[in-house]
Amino acid sequence: MMTFRIWPSQRIRQAVETGIIIPAMPLAPDQIQPASMDLRIADRAYRVPASFLPGPHRTVRERLTSLSTHVLDLTQPRVLERNCVHIIPLLEEIRLGPTTSARANPKSSSGRLDIFVRLITDYGTAFDDIPEGYQGPLFAEVVPRSFPVIVGRGTTLNQIRFRERGAGPAEAKRTSAVTINLQPTSPDRIIGYRARRAAGLVDLAAVGAHRRGDFWEPLTIEADRGDLVLVPDEFYILASFEDVRVEAGEAAEMIAYDTSVGEARVHYAGFLDPGFGLPEAGGTGSKVVLEVRSHDVPFLLEHGQHVGTLEYEPMLERPDQLYGQGIRSNYQGQGLKLSKQFR
């Protein structure tokens, strides 16, 4: 029998002190979150013609030697262009013990900006999954989809969660359904946003500095309508119908419901912190943001359609800080919210 438990913030901090996590530069404030650590991009971005996995016999650097076509120096702010694949070494290396594995996911802000981000490891055969005992560097594959973005050394695009295997009775994961809201909940009747084509650059460091109307078209809906036709390949930000609540002793991950049926992909950011949506951490009424795209054909999305499932996992210990409590938390208590770069 085996149990799996997620490392809380204090355990992650300890792992930095004991050399399990090796940052190339001192950690940034707020880098350690209640159940995850933000990963920072390092000095260079390698343009490659296509996404890849190194496979069991090669390191990422070996693969880059033959695939890289151009190198961007990230010691100065640089533009990552839309639909170009970049491989970027991260400032954090890890030396996991034999009972620790890890999983990465885009940060909520990356998802909301339609930046496709996946983690790659040496000898990796899957994206975002780091096997038990992995020792080595970490890389991010980064593809901005809707907007070109400005990044530089230290920008955080994805995050890592550590999972400890232990003895004990296996527990079934608690799950809950996430459905789409297409009913107006505010006087402006806005239920979502569609990314504008040919908008400007988004500077990821410039929080609150971008006018939302320049980048996003608001979508309003009549109370008696309850559906929305998704135009193929357009990007939409919508919100869940459900208020979400993650208890202090658990963390959650959002999994796409069924990518073959639901043309609405819930694809990107999926980690929810302990305390997200908890009333005592200021989270009453927190919704999850759903990043939606239709492929190939126009698709009729309906109010209440099941698009994702939240899987809850126990923490190893209660984290010493919860989401929304004394830490920079941009999305606690949110309804429908664009990424923090927009005002």
Ligand X SMILES: Nc1ccn([C@H]2C[C@H](O)[C@@H](COP(=O)(O)OP(=O)(O)OP(=O)(O)O)O2)c(=O)n1
- The region of 134-142, 197-205, 209-217, 328-336 touching ligand X under the rule CB under 6 A is 328-336
- The region of 62-70, 101-109, 122-130, 160-168 touching ligand X under the rule CB under 6 A is 101-109
Locate 198 and state its tokens.
């040919």
Work out whether strand 70-73 and strand 44-48 pair parallel, antiparallel, or are unpaired: antiparallel
Residues 171-210 that bind ligand X (CB under 6 A): none
Q: Name the percent of the chain in helix, strand, coil, to the closest 5.
A: 10, 40, 50
Q: Which of 11, 86, 107, 267 binds ligand X (CB under 6 A)?
A: 107
Count CB-CB contacts under 10 A for residue 16.
Answer: 17
- Tell me if 109 contacts ligand X by CB under 6 A: yes
Residue 257 CA, distance from chain mean position: 17
Residues 227-256 that bind ligand X (CB under 6 A): 254
Locate 199 and state its tokens.
């908008």
Q: What is the rounded distance in angstroms from the CA atom of residue 22 to the CA atom of residue 172?
A: 33
Least separation, in Å, of the C-beta of 42 and ligand X? 19
Least separation, in Å, of the C-beta of 209 and ligand X? 15
- Tell me if 31 contacts ligand X by CB under 6 A: no
Q: Looking at beta carbons only, is 121 or 339 nearer to ligand X?
A: 339
Binding mask 278-317 for ligand X (x = CB under 6 A): ----------xx----------------------------
Computed from CA positions of residues 302, 287, 33, 195, in that sequence, does the dihedral angle turn out positive or negative? positive
* Residue among 165, 149, 140 nearest 38 (CA): 140
Locate 269 and state its tokens.
């950011």
Q: Looking at beta carbons only, is 64 or 313 nearer to ligand X?
A: 313
Cα torsion through 41, 43, 48, 52, rounded to 10: -40
Q: What is the rounded distance in angstroms from the CA atom of residue 185 to the CA atom of residue 132?
A: 45
- The region of 59-67, 82-90, 107-115, 136-144 touching ligand X under the rule CB under 6 A is 107-115
- Tell me if 113 contacts ligand X by CB under 6 A: no
Binding site for ligand X (CB under 6 A): 33, 107-109, 111, 159, 254, 269, 271-273, 276, 288-289, 323, 328-331
